[in-house]
Structure formats: C-alpha cells, structure tokens
C-alpha cells in the first residue's frame, strides 16, 4: 500500500508521514499549491513559498519523495468563490470545510489514485474506523483539545475508506512536537497556523473586493423593529454576534442579530436577541449513520472549537434538511457555519446552518 501524504509544511502533516513510515508503509509527500499570495504578501505562513520549503525539508529528512501539485484552479472554484458568495448572501462560511470536501479529500484523493497511491493521509486530529461489515466511521480524536472531526464531517464514505489519519490516537500536541524533534525536523517548533490561508494582512475584505464586491456596498444598520441607527460599508464586514463597527447605544451594547442581504441591512439588538432555541440545517452529509427516518437525540457543535450541546434533530425533510432543537438556547447561531452532530464521540453527520426566517 502506497500512501500520499498531504504535507502542508507544518509539524502535524510531517509527523503523520513519519508515523506511517515507521509502520513500514511506502509514503510519498505532496504539497498542494492552492493559492498564490500577492507579490507584497509575507513569504511565511500557510500556502507560502516558505511552507513548501518546510514540507520539502521534512520529506528529505524522512527520505521520502516530495512533489508539489498545482491545485489553484480547483481551490479558487470550490473554496474562494463560494466563500465570497456566502458573504454576499449575508452568511459566514467556513472555508476549511469546503477545502476538505472538494480539494484535500476530493481533488487530491483523485490525483493520488491517478498517480498510483492507494490511500491519502493528512495531519488532522480525528479517527477513522469501520463497523464490522458496515459503514466507515469518523470519531473524535484522543486529543479532544485538538480534535478536528468538526471540519471533516463532509467526507464521503469513499473518502473515509481511502484516508488515513495517523495523529488521531496521539493524546497531546506536545507528543507530536516531540516526535518531530527526535527526527530532527525543523518544523518541530513551528507555530500552528491560525488564520484562513488566503486571507492576508488586510483581512478578508480584500478577497471580497476582488470576488464579490457587492458584499462591500454600503447599507443601513437598523434595530429589530426596523428603526434606522446608522450606516455600514458592506454586509460582508459583519457576522452574527459581532459587536465591533456598530453605532453606540444608550441602552447598552448592541450585537449583530441578523443580516438582511436582499436589502443590505445589518440588524442589531441586545445580547438576549442572539439566543436561539433551534436552527435549520441544510446540505446534510450523513457519516457514521445512514440518513435516518426518525428524530435523533444528539450532541451538536455549531462552530469549530465550540462546546457540544444536547439537541434533537428531526427526520430529514424531502430536501434533506433537518431542524435542530437545542436543549438550551444557544448564542449567535450563525448562518453559513456548520452544525455537526455527534453521539458517543462519533460524527453522525452535519450540514450548513441556514438563515433564520422572518419572525423567528
């Protein structure tokens, strides 16, 4: 079995390759060139020239081949453009999920197969296993603090069947760095990447300016009754729960409650207007279970690194969407983010949170 490892230039993917090599698995490293920074952007960071060089050095340290694949076109089409379009619609997307869905475990998996690899591997912290004779499962990693199952809920059964996640059983990030240090890898002390890879120092407004300028057109800021409070310089600069960039209020802090994209309005209100007892979830992907035909009691995570909360989801409607009812009201349930459903640490499935209807 030959495994194609997606090596980002960070410590996690480098150690993933090393652990597979320790098991005697033939490993080939690949770095995906997914975005080209402007000429005046910093040379370091995710997707940079420095990141490619770090991945190449890590591969050389392991004595494995390393190649760079040009994924800029598929990344632009399936990640960057939908990212900009979501902000134009008043939503707040998670581009890492779409990159996993379309690029790493879609395009890259297909390319790896074409090049003769049997599996792909990444440095994500999650566990893939299989029920005897049944479906492939996605479960939380042993290291719950670094668990990334939330951003992997979009994987198909075929992708799960052909993916290895060697870091899923590592209990502490310090252990990952220790392994890299023992192997003499320079990336052992490299900081984790925190930002969206294609968002530069000027923020994501620069991306919107190029791909979806409508999201930066001015409009009104109104309260929940529709009273005009001020003006904004683009709905793309706002997300539900935001407090910055809002006019002052004598009655207390204001927060973005919703975004009316059709009228380019940002609707604001007090903190208690951010609470929701339910949400609609569309574009569902069922993972550990097949699509259910009855309601399910679940734990739900409504954004990356959020604490899971008890909830109940309806049986899927004719369009595949479900209603998620929280046991306790949740703050800032944000359209465009994903709701991922768990039971006993396994990902049942997940989808994209839809905008609230008027009056909800």
DSSP 8: -
* Structure token pair of residue 189: 């002390």
Summary count for the chain: helices (H), strands (E)? 9, 17
In the set 46, 47, 154, 197, the catalytic residue is: 197
SS3 255: strand
Query: Do 239 and 205 form a contact (C-beta atoms < 8 A)?
Result: no
Nearest residue to 146 (alpha-carbon basis) of 164, 167, 125, 166: 125
**Distance (Å, rounded) from C-alpha 76 to C-alpha 35?**
8
**Distance (Å, rounded) from C-alpha 314 to C-alpha 67?**
46
Residue 197: active-site member: yes
What is the 3 state secondary structure string of 126-152?
A: EEEEECCCCCEEEEECCCHHHCCHHHH
In the set 99, 154, 279, 324, the catalytic residue is: 99
- Residues annotated as part of the active site: 99, 197
């Amino acid at each position: 079995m030959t495994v194609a490892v997606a090596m980002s230039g960070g410590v996690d993917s480098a150690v993933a390759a090393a652990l597979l090599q320790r098991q005697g698995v033939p490993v080939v490293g690949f770095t995906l060139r997914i975005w080209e920074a402007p000429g005046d952007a910093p040379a370091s960071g995710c997707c940079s020239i420095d990141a490619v060089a770090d991945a190449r050095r890590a591969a050389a340290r392991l004595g494995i081949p390393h190649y760079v694949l040009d994924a800029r076109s598929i990344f632009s089409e399936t990640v960057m453009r939908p990212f900009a379009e979501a902000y134009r619609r008043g939503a707040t997307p998670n581009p890492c999920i779409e990159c996993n869905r379309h690029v790493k475990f879609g395009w890259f998996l297909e390319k790896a197969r074409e090049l003769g690899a049997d599996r792909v591997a990444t440095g994500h912290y999650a566990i893939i296993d299989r029920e005897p004779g049944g479906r492939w499962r996605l479960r939380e990693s042993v290291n719950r603090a670094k668990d990334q199952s939330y951003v992997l809920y979009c994987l198909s059964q075929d992708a799960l069947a052909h993916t290895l996640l060697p870091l899923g059983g590592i209990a502490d990030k310090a252990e990952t760095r220790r392994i890299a240090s023992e192997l003499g890898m320079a990336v052992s002390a490299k900081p984790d990447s925190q930002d969206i890879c294609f968002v530069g120092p000027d923020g994501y407004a620069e991306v919107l300016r190029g791909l979806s300028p409508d999201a930066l057109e001015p409009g009104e800021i109104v309260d929940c009754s529709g009273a005009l409070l001020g003006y904004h310089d683009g709905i793309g600069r706002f997300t539900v729960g935001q407090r910055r960039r809002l006019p002052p209020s004598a009655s207390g802090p204001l927060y973005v409650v919703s975004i009316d994209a059709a009228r380019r309005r940002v609707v604001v209100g007090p903190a208690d207007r951010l609470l929701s007892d339910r949400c609609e979830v569309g574009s569902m992907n069922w993972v550990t279970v097949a699509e259910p035909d009855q309601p399910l009691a679940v734990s739900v995570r409504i954004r990356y690194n959020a604490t899971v909360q008890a909830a109940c989801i309806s049986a899927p409607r004719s369009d595949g969407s479900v209603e998620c009812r929280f046991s306790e009201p949740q703050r800032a349930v944000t359209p465009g983010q994903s709701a991922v459903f768990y039971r006993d640490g396994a990902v049942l499935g997940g989808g994209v949170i839809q905008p609230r209807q008027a009056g909800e």
